[in-house]
Amino acid sequence: MKAPNHLYYSESHEWIKVEGGVGIVGISDYAQDSLGEVVYLDLPEEGQPVTKGLQFGAIESVKAASDLNAPVTGVISEVNPDIDRTPELINEDPYANWIIKIEIEDESELESLMNAESYLAFCENAA
């Protein structure tokens, strides 16, 4: 299972990478592997506000539906059109294929997220 070092991770298995005040959000390798083949994403609109820990959309595999939760509070600045058309990209590379970008309100919220090492330990305990 992969968890790149430069990302932050939430307990609901989203990752976030920060580039100039913008958070790029996707789901982790562990999440895509647990879900199995992703067939549909229920995605929000650009400009929609999101709150840390609350649902902003859903990701669905053949077998199950799972909530997508915002790792930070802010406003959605972009939704990835590629994964809307080709949801299985998430399985192919969950770190290259991001889901949304968020204009982050308060970057200190990132401190409560996990780094790669703690996240891997967290997944180990969950398994």
Partner 1 sequence: MKTTPLYQNHLNMGAKMVDFAGYLMPLSYTSIEDEHHAVRHQAGYFDVSHMGEILVEGKGATAFIEKVFTNQLPGLNQARYGLLLKNDGMPVDDVLVYRLGQEKYWIVCNASNIQKVMEHLQNIPFEGTLKDLSESIAMVALQGPKAQAILEAIVNLDCEMKRYTFKEAEYLGDPLLISRTGYTGEDGFEVYGEESLIIEFWKALAAFEEAWPCGLGARDTLRFEAGYPLFGHEILHFLTPQSSGLSMFIDYTRTDTYGIKALLEEQEKGLQEIIVGVELCDKGIIREGYGLYVGDTRIGEVTTGYKLRHFEFAKALAFVKMPYTAVGTEIEAEIREKRVKAKVIPYPFYQKLKKKKVEA
Q: Considering CB under 8 A, how many residues would be counted as binding partner 1?
A: 10
Q: Give the type of residue at 68.
A: L
Is the Cβ of residue 62 or residue 121 nearer to partner 1 in the bound state? 62
Q: How far is the CB of 75 from partner 1 (least distance, A)?
A: 21
Is the Cβ of residue 37 or residue 46 nearer to partner 1 in the bound state? 37
Which residues between 21 and 50 bind partner 1 (CB under 8 A)? 36-37, 39-40, 42
Is the Cβ of residue 41 or residue 104 nearer to partner 1 in the bound state? 41
Rounded Cα distance between 110 and 28, Å, is 16
Q: Give the type of residue at 82.
A: D
Determine the straight-line distance between the first and last CA of the chain, rounded to whole angstroms: 12
Which residues between 48 and 67 bind partner 1 (CB under 8 A)? 58, 60, 62-63, 65
Of 41, 109, 126, which Cα lies nearest the Cα of 80? 41
DSSP string, 8-64: EE-TTSEEEEEETTEEEEEE-HHHHHHH-SEEEEE---TT-EE-TTSEEEEEEESS-
Helix (H), strand (E) at residue 4: none
Site string for partner 1, 60-99 (x = CB under 8 A): x-xx-x----------------------------------
Is the Cβ of residue 58 or residue 126 nearer to partner 1 in the bound state? 58
Which residues contact partner 1 (rule: CB under 8 A)? Answer: 36-37, 39-40, 42, 58, 60, 62-63, 65
